Amino acid sequence: MTDLGQFQSTEKHTPTPNHERASAMRKKIIDAAIQCLCDLGYHQTTTKAIAERARISRGAILHHFSTRSELVEAVFKEVSNQRTEYHRARLEHISDPMGRFLELIEILWETMISPTGVARLELLLGTRGDPELKEQFDALNAGHVQQSKDNLWLMAKSIGFATEEERKKIDAFTQLYIATMRGLSIDAMRSETRPGAEDAKELLKEMQTVMLKSMLT
């Protein structure tokens, strides 16, 4: 068999620019942190664990993220970006406004039981007792929840809602189903409570349909 290593490429090698290498390394660290949060939990996700998962040195992590605060924010933004992209991809083939709205609970459920969803939950629970990170994460999370409410109201307007009172109800229901999905995603981590969590999610979808139809009539 011919050893491909005997041949030399006639193409010139183009070095990867420093900013591209740095960006790739940051992504590698963030991905490893998400995997550790999902598999090990918040308190076991140390720089050592992340370095081992990413197969890099701890010094490389500190070079790109000098503080835990920087890494937590980067992980949160990556998780949020992935969730946004997943929502876009799942909804783009649904043209009916009501159909799009009714699909939201299922999409949120899928994202919350995914590795990124578990990682975000670990950050939410883990940082609440961390004086250094609690305020920062609470601000990030509050901004994310408000953005979700704004986006859902835009979708609700496409269905036919318009009044301030309807906005309050849609906002309240948005917070209700986010909080419910978060709690059910914890049950989904255990095999013995996963079926019940799935049933509860389906019941919430039925309640959403009834609520929307009632408001529209």
Domains 17-66 and 68-216 agree in fold? no
Tokens of 188: 């989904």
Kindly report, residue by residue over 57-103, the tens digit of the pLDDT. Answer: 999 999 999 998 999 999 999 999 999 999 999 999 999 999 999 99
Kindly report, residue by residue over 39-56, the tens digit of the pLDDT. Answer: 999 999 999 999 999 999
Quote the pLDDT of residue 130. Answer: 85
Quote the pLDDT of residue 103. Answer: 95
Cα torsion angle, 203, 207, 210, 212, sign: negative
Tokens of 62: 């500190």
Across the chain, what does the average pLDDT equal? 89
Q: Which residue in the block uniquely carries the two structure tokens 């799942």?
A: 90
Percent of the chain having pLDDT more than 70?
92
Quote the pLDDT of residue 17. Answer: 67
pLDDT band at 9 (very low <50, low <70, confident <90, very high): very low
- Domain-wise residue ranges, the chain: 17-66, 68-216
The CATH code for residues 17-66 is 1.10.10.60
Quote the pLDDT of residue 26. Answer: 95
Quote the pLDDT of residue 97. Answer: 93
Kindly report, residue by residue over 97-125, the tens digit of the pLDDT. Answer: 999 999 999 999 999 999 999 999 999 99
Q: Which long-range contacts (CB under 8 A, 24 or more apart) does 190-194 make?
A: none
Cα torsion angle, 144, 166, 183, 117, sign: negative
Quote the pLDDT of residue 1. Answer: 34
Q: Which residues of 34-57 are buried (b: 16+ CB within 10 A; e: fewer)?
A: bbbbbeeebeebebebbbebbebe
Kindly report, residue by residue over 119-177, the tens digit of the pLDDT. Answer: 999 999 999 888 888 888 888 889 988 999 999 999 999 999 999 999 999 999 999 98
The CATH code for residues 68-216 is 1.10.357
Quote the pLDDT of residue 2. Answer: 32
Kindly report, residue by residue over 18-41, the tens digit of the pLDDT. Answer: 888 899 999 999 999 999 999 999
Q: Does residue 200 register a pLDDT over 90? A: yes
Q: Does residue 4 register a pLDDT over 70? A: no
